[in-house]
């Protein structure tokens, strides 16, 4: 009897130690898969911002300025997690040759879907994510500019 109880206890401990991590990984994988639509739309928006700047020599002020540049609301893929209205960009900056030197692109999911907020660094092309209801902190690759306004010198302290 003691052997059976010991066996069951060890089995439960092993299942708890191994099984929990797999479930968390599956959840993260599922959330990341759901975010693929937002990632693709953010790339469209970034590319449209670059095209807009190339033609107008100014950064766009809002998503509506990107009509005709490949990222109008009708050009974006929508699903149950991300609507065409949940996209924004900020802190755009370009050098004298027109190359983007700073820019954040954000996808905010529809409320209460549980989907991730997605942020694209327009310079590096890297994404990072936070759960709904949380704010983005400094990005892993923020080039030292953080969330400072584009015309504010970076705080490298």
pLDDT in tens, 16-37: 444 333 333 446 889 999 999 9
Q: What pTM was estimated for this model as a whole?
A: 0.75
Q: What pLDDT is stored for residue 147 in this prediction?
A: 55
Q: What pLDDT is stored for residue 157 in this prediction?
A: 42
Q: What pLDDT is stored for residue 144 in this prediction?
A: 64
CA–CA separation, 115 and 110 (whole Å): 8
Residue 127 makes CB contacts below 8 A (sequence gap 6+) with 35, 39, 42, 118, 119, 120, 121
Name which of 145, 88, 149, 148 is nearest 120 in CA terms. 88
Q: What pLDDT is stored for residue 73 in this prediction?
A: 87
Distances (CA, A) of 88 to 26, 34, 112: 29, 19, 19
Q: What pLDDT is stored for residue 106 in this prediction?
A: 96
Positions of the chain with pLDDT lower than 50, given as ranges? 3-26, 150-157
Q: What pLDDT is stored for residue 145 in this prediction?
A: 62
């Amino acid at each position: 009897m003691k052997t059976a109880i010991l066996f069951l206890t060890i089995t439960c401990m092993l299942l708890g130690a191994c099984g929990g991590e797999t479930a968390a990984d599956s959840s993260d994988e599922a959330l990341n898969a759901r975010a693929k639509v937002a990632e693709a739309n953010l790339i469209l928006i970034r590319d449209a911002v670059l095209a807009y700047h190339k033609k107008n020599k100014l950064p766009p002020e809002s998503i509506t300025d990107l009509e005709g540049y490949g990222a109008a609301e009708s050009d974006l893929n929508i699903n149950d997690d991300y609507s065409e209205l949940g996209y924004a960009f900020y802190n755009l900056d370009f050098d004298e040759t027109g190359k983007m030197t700073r820019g954040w692109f954000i996808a905010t999911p529809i409320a209460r879907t549980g989907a991730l907020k997605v942020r694209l660094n327009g310079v590096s092309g890297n994404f990072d994510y936070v759960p709904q209801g949380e704010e983005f902190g400094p990005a892993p690759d923020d080039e030292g500019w953080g969330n400072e306004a584009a015309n504010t010198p970076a705080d490298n302290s």
